[in-house]
Amino acid sequence: MTVTVVGIGADGWPGLAPPARTACEKAAVVLGAPRQLDLLPAAVTARREEWPAPMMPSLPSLLDRLGGEELVVLASGDPMFFGIGTSVLRLRPDATVVPHPSSVALACARLGWAEQDAVVVSAVGRPLEAVRAALAPRRRLLVLADSGALPGRLAALLVGAGYGEARLCVLGSLGAEHESRVDGVAASWSAPDGDPLAVVAVDCPALPDDGWLGRAPGLPDDAYTHDGQLTKTEMRALSVAALRPLPGQLLWDVGGGAGSIGIEWCRAEPTARAIAVESREDRAARIVENAAALGAPAVRVVPGHAPEVLSGLETPDAVFVGGGVSVPGMLEACRRALRPGGRLVANAVTLEGEVALAAARAEYGGEVRRIAVSRGRPVGRYLGWKALAPVTQWVLHVGTTDAGPATAGDVPPPTPPPWRLS
């Protein structure tokens, strides 16, 4: 028997194309949220089943139980865009997907925006703080709402990030007869909570008051709250570049300090994740604050002492060691943990650290380099150079034959994105 994922919009049955209608009419069972099931006419005689909560853990058993009949799974809009279609196909590769225009496509049509130029951020089951990293002068964002209160929360975030002049447009129930629109400016936003099924369009100002942070590594040092334990701007840019952030990959930031390496790894690649390992409680709390303020909610903090705490962590694709390189077993533990193709970058500012890096280079290969940075500072009435502490850096790329215990089969499937239930 067949499984068909049918995308349905707020316009309901009239908006469905003939293939979607045929699938619903032939189905023995239709599975969906109550709101979606109510959109079907009486002509659809299939047994109607509502999603249980939580939905994701129940999906495999539901497909096993219902997949022996003609089954239709209802999804909001395009099932393959932040939708359940990918999860169903992972479990049932033979399933068919019949899409509907996504809320993003409808929003761009209403606004006259080029869809390929807009940046989409979902707040459905995801932290709203991710919007912060996507902000840029003149950028156009589309934020998928998780509740009617989201526009107010988003306006407050924009004001705090220096984007108070951003224009907001809340588009609710796109495609339905009761479709709505509310316009305003972030700094003066006062609209009450509205439609939970909304897309919030953000038109960023040309001159925001945020220092033009961007996604490139090397944010200003004063972008972080820290106690001095911070990889400086220039070294941060070089270190993150050496780590090479890639889609969906995981970084260990060992000796997190202020969390800057993990944060800028995640900012550089929005689908990447990071684990910051930090032994001091005050610094661990500071990493959480910095990650939220700079739009990197995918940074997770693990308190504890390395290398002991590393053994229980998810296998990384890249490791940065910013402190403790001379701790016995540290570099070996980090190297062995890497997946095939992984990258290890370790920085040292002490003689003991340099000795450890030189020994690691002699045993495992890789590249070492000495990096010296000077900044212009006042010297009386003039400007002179003030040197920062030189840094010795070891960069190792682990091949497919010399990696640790991880194998290609250990790579977990991509985490399925959340979707709308109502």
Dump pLDDT digits (tens) for 192-205: 999 998 999 999 99
Beta carbons within 8 Å of 401's beta carbon, 6+ residues apart? none
Low-confidence ranges of the chain (pLDDT < 50): 401, 403-422
Residue showing tokens 């900044």: 375
Per-residue confidence (pLDDT) for residue 240, from 0 to 100: 98
Per-residue confidence (pLDDT) for residue 399, from 0 to 100: 79
Cis amide leading into 54 (omega within 30): yes
Dump pLDDT digits (tens) for 96-146: 999 999 999 999 999 999 999 999 999 998 999 999 999 999 999 999 999
- CA atoms of 131 and 158, how far apart (whole Å): 9
Give the pairing of strands 374-379 and 180-185. Answer: unpaired
Dump pLDDT digits (tens) for 16-35: 999 999 999 999 999 999 99
The token duo for 283 is: 């610094």
Domains and their CATH numbers in the chain: 3-101 (3.40.1010.10), 104-203 (3.30.950.10), 221-410 (3.40.50.150)
Q: Return the number of other C-beta atoms located less than 10 Å from residue 53's C-beta.
A: 9
pTM over 0.75: yes
Instruction: State how far Cα 255 lies from the chain centre.
Output: 22
3-state secondary structure of 29: strand
**DSSP-assigned beta bridge partners for residue 318:** 251, 343
Per-residue confidence (pLDDT) for residue 400, from 0 to 100: 55
Tell me how long the chain is.
422
